[in-house]
Amino acid sequence: MKVKEYTRFTRTTAKYKQQPVRPEIQGLLYLGLALAGEVGEVANEIKKVFRENKTIEEAKPKIVEELGDSIWYMVRLVDELGYTLEEVMSLNKAKLEKRQLNDS
């Protein structure tokens, strides 16, 4: 199969082109994608410790900066969903405690 042929084929199967973004999910979509991007930047900075032979001390400021951006988007996303961070933490704690009991 040729690249141009495959490209034309992908246009016929692209579901996102057929569904406009509904106004009520715009925040969810933007914040979810932004959070994923920021977490990717955290991972990229950690990768540089290996690739560029950086020390953890050299990498720490940029990692922490990207973690701060990640937290901002996470808090915004939690708020967009109508929860508080405390509620999400509590739900997560209950889930992990249940998992820990099942693993015993």
The helix, strand and coil proportions of the chain, stated in percent and rounded to the nearest 5, come to: 85, 0, 15
CA 66 to mean position of chain CA atoms = 12
- Please tell me the distance from the alpha carbon of residue 36 to that of residue 91, in angstroms, as a whole number: 21
Which tens digit of pLDDT belongs to each residue from 48-72?
A: 999 999 999 999 999 999 999 999 9
pLDDT in tens, the chain (104 residues): 899 999 989 888 877 666 778 889 999 999 999 999 999 999 999 999 999 999 999 999 999 999 999 999 999 999 999 999 999 999 999 999 999 999 87
Q: How far apart are CA 66 and CA 69, in angstroms?
A: 5
* pLDDT at residue number 18: 65
Does domain 25-103 fall under CATH 1.10.287? My reply is yes
